[in-house]
Structure 1
């Protein structure tokens, strides 16, 4: 088996866990955008940890990661639609929220300034809560 096949299989396995961990976007962001997640990339989100590298991998690896991203976005959008947000706005908020979470995590990991890193996580979490129609904790 080639390395590309192994990576695709590993990503497919990890991203399949998306189906098992349904959550609304604000609750997910509260768990995702934390210093614990930031400081433990090997135990966290494969999108933030491997997304840039996966873009240079096989089609199979990219498809596996993309399917997981799409599934998570669909779950977020469905949760917001069920809570009363119109479908188009829910999808836009889900895509924006997912992109914001992953981007914030990557940026928070890039900086050596812990206060700025914490701001990136905290302010993105607050923004997602505001745009997902959730309650701030």
Structure 2
């Protein structure tokens, strides 16, 4: 078999990163290099021609996930009018707490998708820390309203999604998504305000 061209090698590398990004969000970073390469249809040995280590791939997969989410989302920009920001915020909440997002972690938000692995793997977390923190801050900013920086709202989204995924198949999964949705949409600050029933 002939040598792979430089262009083909670059294309293969991009496929490995994109596929790893999806698989790691779906199954965790414990996915083996062998399984990853088999999924793509490339040889295990070919991996080490492209990457120094699996840790390097995890870093690139996290970067890819955040970049991909950035291009697919209607991110709230600093020039955005407040009405547009609120519409974007509502759209983010709806999408984040959807059954589709719950059921497709491989295509979902990297904040929730990589949180558990980075929490369990301190060495990897240290390598990816700045990238992940920037991703968290950017998503919180998309939820910010008035004096609220969006952090608590993001915690609500991520926590509800993680719990809904863990309980998928039981009615409580939908209840968790709906409870978070209600809490975040009671008013524009994202803070729950009890309704007077008298």
2:61 corresponding residue in structure 1: 10
Give the TM-score, by structure 1 length.
0.78
User: How far does residue 62 in structure 1 lie from its aligned partner after superposition?
Assistant: 2.7
Distance 1:9 1:131, change over 3 A: farther
Give the TM-score, by structure 2 length.
0.56
1:62 corresponding residue in structure 2: 129
Distance 1:117 1:16, change over 3 A: same
Instruction: Confirm or deny that 1:31 pairs with 2:95.
Output: yes
Higher relative contact order (CA 8 A, sep 6+): 1
8 Å Cα contact 1:100/1:124 also seen in 2? yes
Aligned mate of 1:90, from 123, 148, 164? 148
User: How far does residue 132 in structure 1 lie from its aligned partner after superposition?
Assistant: 3.2
1:111 corresponding residue in structure 2: 167
User: How far does residue 19 in structure 1 lie from its aligned partner after superposition?
Assistant: 4.1
Stretches of structure 2 that go unaligned for 5 or more consecutive residues are: 1-51, 77-87, 191-198
Larger radius of gyration: 2
Stretches of structure 1 that go unaligned for 5 or more consecutive residues are: none
Aligned mate of 2:185, from 95, 116, 129? 129
User: How far does residue 30 in structure 1 lie from its aligned partner after superposition?
Assistant: 0.4
8 Å Cα contact 1:5/1:61 also seen in 2? no
- Residue by residue over 1:118-137, the C-alpha shift from the partner in whole angstroms, topping out at 9 and shown as x without a partner, is 01001101111124348xxx
Count of paired positions: 123
Between structures 1 and 2, the one with greater helix share: 1
